[in-house]
Amino acid sequence: MGLLPSNSICCEVNFPIEGKSVQIAGVLARDETGTVWILHRGRFRGIGRALFEKHYKGKWQNAEGDPYAVVAALGQPNLVRHVADFVRLVHGIKKPSP
């Protein structure tokens, strides 16, 4: 019987309880329609923002003057899929295929 590979964190989408924090790259932002969005600065341990920007083909949204990658809207039916796609993208940048 073989050992299972260990898991490691490739990406976190965290946000502060309120406002924004320079230590936390995620934020929640409400648009003019009242929709709450999960946004991310595009900074990750192991890759620079420029490399993320090169690979990220999704939407960017300004929140309080700063650009953020749009991850997903809270309450949408495909929320989990959008978050999973975002994490897969980051994982692919960090560990490109051979």
pLDDT at site 56: 94
CA distance 93 to 51: 8
Strands in 26-30's sheet, in edge-to-edge order, are 26-30, 36-40, 66-73, 60-63
pTM metric for this prediction: 0.83
Question: In the chain, where are the structural domains located?
Answer: 26-94
Mean pLDDT of 62-67: 89
pLDDT at site 94: 86
Residue-wise pLDDT tens digits, 8-60: 777 877 888 887 788 888 889 999 999 999 999 998 888 888 999 999 999 99
pLDDT at site 96: 61
